[in-house]
Amino acid sequence: MKLIVGLGNPGAKYARNRHNIGFMAVDRIAADHGFGPWKGKHQGSISEGRFGSDRAVLLKPETFMNNSGQSVQAAMRFYKVEPGDVIVLHDEIDLAPGKVKCKVGGGHAGHNGLRSIHAHIGPDYARVRLGVGHPGHKDAVPGYVLRDFRKADEAWLDDVLRGVSDGAPYLVAGDLAKFMNAVGLRISPPRPSTGTKPPPAKPAPPEPAQDTRNAVQKLMDRFK
């Protein structure tokens, strides 16, 4: 069983914030794959379901971002899973908008949600890093991630969320390569063939017939 955690802040005020892209991702997974209704448990909201024979639990911590680890730890204890069974989906300012990357283990890079999870369960869990871009200066980061996505972001955001949902079965199965391929097919789909062919080459004009008349015949023909 896998515990898939989407990071964000609870409440309508934060629903479309860049910081809440993790919440948006698990909401899309639950809706697309027929998971059960969201229920309040483990200091968060959970939804349970399956991808074929693989069971998964989706979790949205409702402790606010900076205390996300409390909810993750509580859910882990209840479901008796190890850090290696935890997958965290979160916003990543060090990736361009629309970019997605995966990693297992490593540091928290200053992300407060990951920092809290590190403190409660350690670093040995998987992360899906969902790029939201950087405001350009570190002092602007808090305000940037707590502002809503712009209308101009809607197209790539929808592609990312659909791609993550498409790839969720592979994510749970531990096949990160197939997961990334599913995301890539949404973000950068192959261009369809136009089906057009170059026009056929025009046939060469026929060569003129060779004139076999002698000089006298040519002269006589001129006066006919």
According to DSSP, residue 84 is labeled G
19 has catalytic annotation: yes
Cα 74 from Cα 5, distance rounded (Å):
12
In our burial notation (b when 16+ CB lie closer than 10 A, e otherwise), range 8-17 reads bbbeeebebb
In our burial notation (b when 16+ CB lie closer than 10 A, e otherwise), range 142-158 reads eebbeeebeeebeebbe
Catalytic-labelled residue, pool 19, 42, 90, 111: 19
According to DSSP, residue 11 is labeled S
Are 89 and 22 in contact by the 8 Å Cβ rule? The answer is yes
Active site residues: 19
